[in-house]
Amino acid sequence: MTRLRPRLVSACALLLLLLAATLPAAAAKPAAPAQEIDALLVRAIPADGPGVAVIAVKDGKTVFRKARGMASLELGVPLSPESVFRLGSITKQFTAVAVLMLAEEGKLSLSDPITKYLPGYPTHGHTITVEHLLTHTSGIRSYTGIPGYMSGPKIRAGLTTAELVEVFSKEPMDFAPGAEWRYNNSGYVLLGAILEKVSGKPYGELLAERIFRPLGMKSTRVGDEGPILAKRAAGYTRDGEKVANARFLSMTQPHAAGALVSTVDDLALWDAALYGEKLVKRASLVQAWTPAVTRDGRPTRYGYGFGVSTLRGARSIEHGGGIFGFSTYAVRLPDEKVYVAVLANSDAPAADPGTLGKEIAALLIGKPFPARVPVPVDPKLLERWVGVYRFDPQTTRTITLDGGKLFSQRSGGPRLEVKPLSESEFFFDRSLTRISFVAGADGKAKEALFYPEGADEAEKGVREGDVPAVPSETKVDPALYDLYAGEYELAPGFVLTVRRDGNRLLTRATGQEELEVFPASETEFFLKVVDARITFVKGTDGKVASLVLRQGGREMPAKRIR
């Protein structure tokens, strides 16, 4: 808002007082978007904990720019809009645009096999192209999904690009290239390696030269180690109900998949540059923002480094990020010229940046999400939705009723309550995600429609059967627990520690919280908070030599090491 000149203020104020005395009271104006966004932040983010920085841009003008929460809990320093955050996977769009820049210059082609640039990389007889890497359809195993890697000690090591590629290069393929879509950090590390090979420069230097400096992105760089980075926010996590410092991660390891640090201001510059074709041509962006399709014609909702979806009926180009100590989200609605970035300095924030970002973007286009207020529903009416729903070959969602409340549990995941908006529609607390159920002609449940994080389009699950019987907890002599106590290696650096606590048996995987397991028999145990079971295996000498963890459709044997 332009300020009035000082000599005009008193006259204007007098005129306003006279008008107020003679005119009838006017109806209160609706809150401006900035006021609504500010109120949203105050409700969602405590001022004395880790927080967020937010920027919201419409038609090229910043309509909201603010931070709430603390940059350093130890020093009592509040966050500011200038605070620097790790971006996590928002990095991928920068990597993708860098690839497109070199493609436009004729230095590489998206249809090139990756072995043209990385001749020693094992492709197991497949042709894997640069485009496969961009779209997460390569079938290469994602190194962040290797059991125990992210929670083990190796993640602390500083690695060269070649050493990082070596971490996953010998892993088996998950599927044939183009057959499926599966989010893949390894693919973007390989893109970083290709960029380095083609340009002859380190990934960070290439981006600084071609993107950051030309756009004036003064607080953006690869990694936050090395020279002091002004206004860098500390990263936090959660240990039970307490806030804790995030675990150390060598920023050499996220590489082109997630190693950037930046500010909301720099991200707004980045978005504006994409509108202005300062980096790549419009045709390249259209390609990047077009969902890839698998070989059998299934759309993937992902282009080149950008997620492609809709938000309240508007086309949306978006991406989130999660990395030790930080959670991030950025969305652009290109047809409405809206851009929102939300950066949080916690990997377990009070409010999800994706939820906040989508709520803010919806406000800016005048289509706010409706209030999510639970309504009372007779538990007898909820019984018909109980069952197992199949969404794809790897994914089911089990719906159960417990104490008059409905719960949803994704295969291998935690059980979460869903609260009723009506007899057939439900929402997840602190989330825009909702699920609705469709009954067949006989009145029985037929389908579940899952809308992740406010999506307009549903993922459809078909009811395939009743809920399997939950293991019955049985009584065993707690003295047996002494036999099971020890450490079991699920993967190099990834250990499941088992210990006795009186009459309870507790387990803790490396880097994770401690959870109680319950006996179904003397050797079979199960968890109640996640869909997982443990079997202890005795050797010929009668001593426990190993265990088998069953979770998410996988069986993971673990040898006892202590």
β pairing state of 260-262 and 307-311:
unpaired
In the chain, where the domains are located: 52-364, 379-465, 478-560
- pLDDT number for residue 280: 97
Polymer length in residues for the chain: 562
- pLDDT number for residue 553: 64
Q: Give φ, ψ of 338 to 5 degrees.
A: -115, 140
Beta bridge partners of 555: 550
DSSP state of 156: G
Counting Cβ atoms within 10 Å, is residue 351 exposed (0-12), middle (13-18) or buried (19+)? buried
Indicate left, alpha or beta for 190 from its phi (over 0: left) and psi (-120 to 50: alpha). alpha
Cα(149)–Cα(66) distance, rounded to whole angstroms? 36
Give the SS3 label for residue 542. coil
Counting Cβ atoms within 10 Å, is residue 128 exposed (0-12), middle (13-18) or buried (19+)? buried
Topology (CATH level 3) of domain 478-560:
Lipocalin (2.40.128)
Closest CA to 131 of 109, 115, 161, 116: 109
Cα-Cα-Cα-Cα dihedral sign, residues 277, 281, 285, 290: positive
- pLDDT number for residue 7: 32
Opening angle at CA 517, ends 516 and 519, nearest 5: 140
CA dihedral 472, 477, 478, 482 (to 10 degrees): -120
Q: Which residues contact 462 (CB under 8 A, 6 or more apart)?
A: 389, 390, 446, 447
Enumerate long-range contacts of 118-124, CB under 8 Å, 24 or more apart: 118/165, 118/190, 118/193, 118/194, 118/197, 121/165, 121/169, 121/190, 122/169, 122/170, 124/172, 124/173
Cα(221)–Cα(291) distance, rounded to whole angstroms? 28
Q: Do domains 379-465 and 478-560 have the same CATH topology?
A: yes
Topology (CATH level 3) of domain 379-465:
Lipocalin (2.40.128)
Counting Cβ atoms within 10 Å, is residue 381 exposed (0-12), middle (13-18) or buried (19+)? exposed
pTM above 0.95, yes or no: no
β pairing state of 52-58 and 61-68:
antiparallel
- pLDDT number for residue 16: 30
Q: Which residues contact 13 (CB under 8 A, 6 or more apart)?
A: none
Give the SS3 label for residue 550. strand
Give the SS3 label for residue 178. coil
Closest CA to 193 of 117, 142, 126: 117
- Please give the chain's pLDDT, 562 residues, in tens: 333 233 333 333 333 333 333 334 444 444 568 999 999 999 999 999 999 999 999 999 999 999 999 999 999 999 999 999 999 999 999 999 999 999 999 999 999 999 999 999 999 999 999 999 999 999 999 999 887 888 888 899 999 999 999 999 999 999 999 999 999 999 999 999 999 999 999 999 999 999 999 999 999 999 987 788 899 999 999 887 899 999 999 999 999 999 999 999 999 999 999 988 899 999 999 999 999 999 999 999 999 999 999 999 999 999 999 999 999 999 999 999 999 999 999 999 999 999 999 999 999 999 999 989 999 999 999 999 999 999 987 789 999 999 999 999 988 778 899 999 999 999 999 899 999 999 999 888 999 999 998 989 899 999 999 887 778 889 999 999 999 999 998 877 678 999 999 999 999 887 677 889 999 999 999 988 777 899 999 888 888 999 999 876 678 899 999 8
Q: Give φ, ψ of 83 to 5 degrees.
A: -60, 145
Cα(64)–Cα(62) distance, rounded to whole angstroms? 6
Give the SS3 label for residue 369. coil
Q: Where are the beta strands (DSSP E) in 421-480?
A: 425-428, 434-439, 445-451, 459-465
- pLDDT number for residue 6: 32
Cα(262)–Cα(270) distance, rounded to whole angstroms? 11
Task: Give the number of other Cβ atoms within 10 Å of residue 66's Cβ.
Answer: 17
Opening angle at CA 31, ends 28 and 35, nearest 5: 145
Cα(112)–Cα(116) distance, rounded to whole angstroms? 7
Closest CA to 546 of 532, 531, 561: 561
Counting Cβ atoms within 10 Å, is residue 271 exposed (0-12), middle (13-18) or buried (19+)? buried
Counting Cβ atoms within 10 Å, is residue 82 exposed (0-12), middle (13-18) or buried (19+)? middle
One CATH from 3.90.245.10, 3.40.50.720, 3.40.710.10, 3.40.190.10 for 52-364: 3.40.710.10
Tally helices (H) and strands (E) across the chain.
14, 29
Distance of CA 444 to the CA centre of its chain: 34
Cα-Cα-Cα-Cα dihedral sign, residues 227, 229, 230, 236: negative
- pLDDT number for residue 18: 31
DSSP 323-366: ETTEEEEEEEETTTTEEEEEEESBSS-SS-HHHHHHHHHHHHTT
